[in-house]
């Protein structure tokens, strides 16, 4: 649907939203920018993660436990939408697990802690 009016009416926005498929958005963005579907997925995932994580970390005074929890939920949502490759999600979770293992080992040996 093409809208030629410079000011969008509420009806036109609702009509455009009803015809829009959110699952095709990475392909549309990737083709428009010339970066491919995977690049569109990563770009949109980055935008969503920044929109979720920056306010979360700011409001929680950069508490990494809360940030990791909210970030994992956001990543799972992006994988469910099909905007992020499950392999990337798995690798990020493994990196977080290694970080937690190091933190727990430091706590148990008395070298550091939270």
Q: Domain for residue 4, yes or no? A: no
As a whole number of angstroms, the distance between CA 93 and CA 46 comes to: 16
Model's pTM, two decimal places? 0.65
Q: How many structural domains does the chain have?
A: 1
Let me know if residue 23 belongs to a domain. yes
**Tens digit of pLDDT for each residue in 35-89?**
988 898 889 988 998 999 888 888 888 777 788 888 888 988 998 888 888 888 8
Asked whether residue 40 is assigned to any structural domain, the reply reads: yes
Within a domain: 114 = no
Shortest CA distance to 89 belongs to which of 78, 102, 98?
78
Helix-helix angle 64-81:86-109, to 10 degrees:
160
């Amino acid at each position: 649907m093409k809208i030629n009016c410079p000011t969008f009416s509420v009806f036109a926005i609702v009509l455009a939203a009803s015809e829009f498929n959110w699952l095709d958005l990475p392909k549309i963005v990737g083709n428009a920018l010339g970066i491919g579907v995977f690049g569109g997925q990563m770009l949109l995932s980055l935008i969503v993660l920044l929109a979720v994580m920056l306010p979360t970390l700011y409001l929680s005074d950069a508490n990494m436990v809360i940030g990791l929890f909210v970030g994992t939920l956001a990543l799972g949502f992006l994988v469910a939408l099909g905007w992020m490759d499950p392999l990337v999600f798995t690798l990020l979770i493994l990196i977080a697990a290694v970080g937690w293992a190091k933190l727990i080992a430091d706590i148990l040996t008395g070298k550091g802690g939270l």
